[in-house]
Amino acid sequence: MKTENAVYPISACVITASRELADDFAGGLGCAEVEVRQRLGDVIREDSQVYILDTKVDDVGIWPAPLLLDSSAREKSWLFLLSEPGDVWFLGEPPRACAFFERGAGAVSSVASYLEKRLDSEASRRIERVEYVEGARSFIVGLEDGKVYALGLDDAAGTDSTGVEGWRIGEGRRHFEVRQRSGNVVEVPWDAVLHHCEPGYEYYKGRGDGEDEGGRAGVIGGRIRGLRERRGFSVTRLAELSGMKRPNLSRLENGRHAPSLETLERVADALGATVGELAARRG
């Protein structure tokens, strides 16, 4: 993990009266631009993307003034440096994008690692943790960019009505595998999670364009099957080449679910085709 020499394309404002903390962050954070302010009141309408607030500043009690007086501040990242858990007494409802770090010698390294992970363009494509909540028949999925989603078991393409026996994150952290009590095994890629759970995702299911998802799945499945047969591949061979399980590929070819972008990329690559050839809408 890069820290001291990392360079992030952001601007950060460190709010602290501690000369030692100020020097450590200014010299070790690696941001394109680091400003240091000694009071929370000094950052109102400050044009920074990330605010790093030492909760020991004298005027911390004016919080949430920066959020109330500058609506754009609500969309920025707020990172809080705490000496002890009780330091959050002033916070009330925290900003949407916030994180907490232990104040002290290791603060710079911890914050730098946090920012590097979340600014990595691939972080939203890697799965960091998965837990299953049986009573809700849902998975809690955390991605490396810090976002966490609840994905219903029934929304995971290819699952059946039986319960979950186990799960694990797959190699490369781009998908997780679900094993059901029936013996059914399904892979759930990162973008299937975003498709069902993230309104800001380009291919979020709620966007809609009037096309029936089932009909689209059938069209894509037919194209995959046609290309596979023209290449002379068996279902088993294509499954091996694309890194998929054979039952999942069969469901895909039969139009039983619309594939995720990740799945399409894997199948297209195995077939020597492009994603557009498989998924493009044709008039």
Q: Where do the domains of the chain lie?
A: 8-119, 124-197, 213-279
**Arithmetic mean of pLDDT, 94-117:** 86
Q: Which residue has the tokens 């710079």?
A: 108
Instruction: Tell which CATH architecture fits domain 124-197.
Output: 2-Layer Sandwich (3.30)
Q: What is the pLDDT of residue 283?
A: 47
Give the least confident one: 91-95, 101-105, 134-138, 149-153.
91-95
Tell me if 124-197 shares its fold with 213-279. no
pLDDT band at 123 (very low <50, low <70, confident <90, very high): confident
- Cα dihedral 166, 239, 268, 138, rounded to 10, equals -20
Query: What token pair was written down for 215?
Result: 């009909």
CB-based contacts of 189: which residues, under 8 Å, 6+ apart?
174, 175, 260, 261, 262, 263
pLDDT band at 3 (very low <50, low <70, confident <90, very high): very low
12 close to 49: Cβ distance less than 8 angstroms: yes
Fold of 8-119: Rossmann fold (3.40.50)
Residue 76 pLDDT level (bands cut at 50, 70, 90): confident
Give the E-state strand segments of 94-244 in sequence order. 98-102, 127-133, 138-143, 148-152, 164-169, 175-180, 185-189
Out of 1.10.260.40, 3.30.1330.120, 1.20.1440.230, 1.10.10.10, the CATH code matching 213-279 is 1.10.260.40
Tell me: pLDDT of 266 over 90: no
Quick one: which H or E segment has residue 50?
A: strand 50-54
Q: Is the pLDDT of residue 2 over 60?
A: no
Q: What is the Cα 93 distance to its own chain's centre?
A: 23
